[in-house]
C-alpha cells in the first residue's frame, strides 16, 4: 500500500503547458509554482550553511 502523501503528490502533478497564461488564475498558478521552488531552494541553502547571514 502506498503512502497517502505520495498519492496526493501524484494527483497534484500537472503539465505546465496546460496552465493558460492569459487568465488571472493561470498567472497566479505560475507565481505559486515559482514561490514553492524558491522556498525549497532557500530551505536547502539554510541547511547547507546554517551560520551564513542573509
Q: Full-prediction pTM beyond 0.95? A: no
Q: Is the pLDDT of residue 53 over 80?
A: no
Q: What's the pLDDT score for residue 11?
A: 62
Predicted confidence at residue 1, as pLDDT, reads 43
Q: What is the pLDDT of residue 22?
A: 87
| Dihedral-angle region of residue 45 (phi above 0 means left; psi in -120 to 50 means alpha; beta otherwise) | alpha
pLDDT digits (tens, 9 = 90+) for 13-50: 777 788 888 889 888 988 998 999 999 999 999 888 87
Q: Please state, in angstroms and rounded to a whole number, the distance separating the CA atoms of residues 13 and 34.
A: 14
Amino acid at each position: 500500500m502506498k503512502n497517502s502523501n505520495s498519492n496526493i503528490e501524484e494527483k497534484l502533478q500537472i503539465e505546465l503547458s496546460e496552465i493558460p497564461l492569459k487568465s488571472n488564475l493561470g498567472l497566479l498558478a505560475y507565481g505559486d509554482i515559482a514561490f514553492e521552488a524558491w522556498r525549497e531552494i532557500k530551505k536547502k541553502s539554510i541547511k547547507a550553511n546554517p551560520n551564513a547571514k542573509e
